[in-house]
Amino acid sequence: MQKTTLLNHLETFLTPRRIGLFDKVIRQRTNHFTVATQDVYQLHNTSAVIRSCEVFGIQNIHVIEERKPKRIDREIAMGAQKWVDVNRYSTSKACIKELRAKGYQIVATTPYGESTTLKDFDIEKPSAIFFGTEKDGLSEEILKEADCRLHIPMVGFTESLNISVSAAIILQSITSRLKNSEIAWQLSEEDKISLKYDWLKKCIKNSDSIIAQYDTENP
C-alpha cells in the first residue's frame, strides 16, 4: 500500500499523457519469455537485441560476459536499456541456474542438429531463449544444458543469421503467438507496480529527493 501511494504521488510530476503511455506499455510487457546472450563479441549486436526485447515487450534480458565485460552501446540501443531490465552474469552456469530457479526452460537457438522449427515451438512453457556468438554460436555447455533447441528455417546458401536479426525474427513470432493465446502472459499486478515505480524514478528529475521528502512527511 505504501508503494502504491508513493507511486500515485510520483505520477503528479508527469503529464497524464505520459502516465497513460506507461500504463499502455506495461500492459504489453511479459516475463513469460526472456532472452539470454552469451559472449556476443560485437557490442552493437547485444545492444540491438536489447532494443528488440523492448520493442516486443520482453522485460528481462540476461547478458553472459564470461570473457570480457561490455558496456551497453547507448546509441545503438536507442535508450531501450532504460525500459528493460538487463541482468549480467560472469558465467553461463550461474545464468542457467538462476533461470531454472525462476521456472524457465532453457532454449538454445542453433541452425545445426535436431531442433524445433520456429512455427512448431511450444509457447506454453515459460522459456529463456539463448543466443550465442556471431562466429561460433552457443557453447557446448549451454547446448548440453538446453531443454530444447530452436531454429529459423532458411532456404538459401547462408547457414545462419546475424544474432540481432535472429532475435528480432524469433521474438516477433513467439510474442505475437503468445498475445493471441489463452496463456496468462502479462506481468502480475505487483510486478506492474514495481516496474512503473522504477520508470517513474528514472523519468522524474531529482526523484530520490522527492521520495525522501515524501517518506519524511508520510512516516
User: Domains in the chain and their CATH numbers?
Assistant: 31-185 (3.40.1280.10)
Set of cell numbers at residue 32: 513469460
Res. 78 pLDDT band, cuts 50 70 90: low
Report the distance separating Cα 34 and Cα 61, nearest Å.
6
User: What pLDDT is recorded for position 10?
Assistant: 95
What is the mean pLDDT of the segment spanning 158-179? Answer: 90
User: What pLDDT is recorded for position 19?
Assistant: 96
Which positions ≥6 away from 87 have C-beta within 8 Å?
60, 61, 62, 63, 98
Res 1 pLDDT > 60: no
Set of cell numbers at residue 102: 525462476
Per-residue burial over 194-210, b if 16 or more Cβ lie within 10 Å, else e, is ebbbebbeeebeeeeeb
Res 216 pLDDT > 60: yes
DSSP bridge pairs for 58: 30
Res. 70 pLDDT band, cuts 50 70 90: low
What is the mean pLDDT of the segment spanning 60-70? Answer: 81
User: What pLDDT is recorded for position 74?
Assistant: 59
Helix (H, G, I), strand (E, B) or coil at 94: helix
Per-residue burial over 141-163, b if 16 or more Cβ lie within 10 Å, else e, is ebbebbeebbbbeeeeeeebbeb
Name the percent of the chain lying above pLDDT 90.
Answer: 68
Res 12 pLDDT > 90: yes
User: What pLDDT is recorded for position 73?
Assistant: 60
